[in-house]
Structure 1
Amino acid sequence: MTIHVLGFPTTLGLPRHAVRHAPEALRATGLLDFLGQMDSRVIDHGDMALPPGLRSDPVPVRIAKVVEAARRQQQHWQRVARPGDLLFTIGGDHSTSLGTIMALAALGYDFDVVWVDAHGDFNTVETSPSGNPHGMVLALATGLLPDAMDGVIRPDRLRLWGIRDLDPGERRLLSE
């Protein structure tokens, strides 16, 4: 098996400069060496160049930028992935995962998303108290923001683990 690692140092979903350094920090802690011990070939594709997130952008613009970056990530994975490969994205905010989900769907894989987080990240523009797109990743992936993108995974394919903090509207959407 080949493990492909792509750094996705995004602040588009949560405009905090510090999260941009996550791929660098994960590599510095020995992530690539650890993955290499799994009897697999590891290919580090470096970091994808991404624009900074701007708090001054209106929420719909921020969402559009997140989706555009995810599409670029999806295209990268579609270029390099071969059957049996593991696509491993490391990054800043929660929107890091969206392009990988999109790529797996476009490649025709049958998969579930296991979301390990304290938050559900299932907000829409209407339910989000902050308007930060990183809290809308799973809603985007399931098509709850159709003006931004079509859904690529059914909600029944989501497995949310460790969730302990849901916004009221997000809780309603998840129960529906």
Structure 2
Amino acid sequence: MDGDTKVVSLEPRTLDGIFSCLTTLGEVLGVSERAAAETRLLRDRLAAVRDRVAGRPRPRVAAIEWLDPLWPAGHWVPEQIDAAGGIPLLAAAGEHIRPITWNAVVAARPDVLLLMPCGFPPERTEAELPLLTGLPGWDDIPAVHVLDGPAYFNRPGPRVVDGAEILADLFHG
């Protein structure tokens, strides 16, 4: 490319990776002090979520980011679940995931099923629910929540902390 164009490739897979990307962006944009301060606030908020749910019962949580085929939510979502006081199922922190079967979801025995399809607002996810509601074992899942995946879970940015706060409220009130 001609000119003074600078290309910065950012591909975080964990919450720490997201925070590091925010720091990198601050440096690139010449606002490193502000980025550091904002990142500290985000880390503090995440720590507050962990403190708020410490010692409470930890529900088993399956998070799904695509409905057909079923894809579990990987990357930072297991960390969001953990910070919110849940036990993440189906994917580990930082993991790039693969499609799974509905039987795998049922076999994991989730207490909570989170539906957060990438690119779908909650209304679209609710419209797609018939893909799952008739499957064997659907009625055995104690709690199902439709969430705004693009706003709080699917995209790496500051709102992932909002997502952890939302989950803490869902799991623990």
TM-score of the pair, normalised by structure 1: 0.24
More helix by share: 2
Which protein has the larger Cα radius of gyration, Structure 1 or Structure 2? 2
